[in-house]
Amino acid sequence: MHPALHWICGFLLTSLSTWAAAQSGPQLQLPRTKLTAGMHMLDVQVAQTSEQRQIGLMFRKEMPQHEGMLFVFEQAATQCFWMRNTLIPLTAAFVADDGTIVNLADMKPQSDDSHCSTKPVRYVLEMNVGWFAKRQIKAGYQLGGQVFGR
């Protein structure tokens, strides 16, 4: 298949699945796990499949402060996120296999600006914007949870 045709097919499939997600609304039934950030307990949804990761927190109008979404990738790589169809401001924590936050990025709603990890990671945790800053949690901080083996 010609590379341009391959790209167009991929784009159409991506657009179609995003459109289908918009028809059904936000993802609210994903599996959940508990994470800790010091004394703070987080209840996060886990997006593990390609489709779940692609939809992420799109179409949500609000999210409780102690909740978030953990994106789990098959292998460590530079992960980049944007906020298309995402209605609430979020902070992305790019997280190493052991739970250490590599870097944080505040992201504006409905923006195609790309926010990337500074090192290869398998995990990205999205929380309401300011959640990490209010608790003085920065790069180098280690999160806990079964997913990180801690």
Residue ranges of the domains in the chain? 25-148
Sheet with 101-107: strands ordered across: 32-37, 40-47, 67-77, 121-128, 90-95, 101-107
Q: What pLDDT, in 10s, does the model give residues 102-142?
A: 999 999 999 999 999 999 999 999 999 999 999 999 999 99
> What is the fold of 25-148?
Jelly Rolls (2.60.120)
pTM over 0.95: no
Q: What is the mean pLDDT of the chain?
A: 88
Q: Residue 128: beta bridge partners?
A: 90
Q: What pLDDT, in 10s, does the model give residues 47-71?
A: 999 999 999 999 999 999 999 999 9
Contact 82, 138 (CB under 8 A): no
Kindly give, in sequence order, each residue whose CB lies less than 8 Å from that of residue 75, ignoring residues fewer than 6 positions away.
Answer: 122
How far apart are the C-alpha atoms of 125 and 70, rounded to whole Å?
4
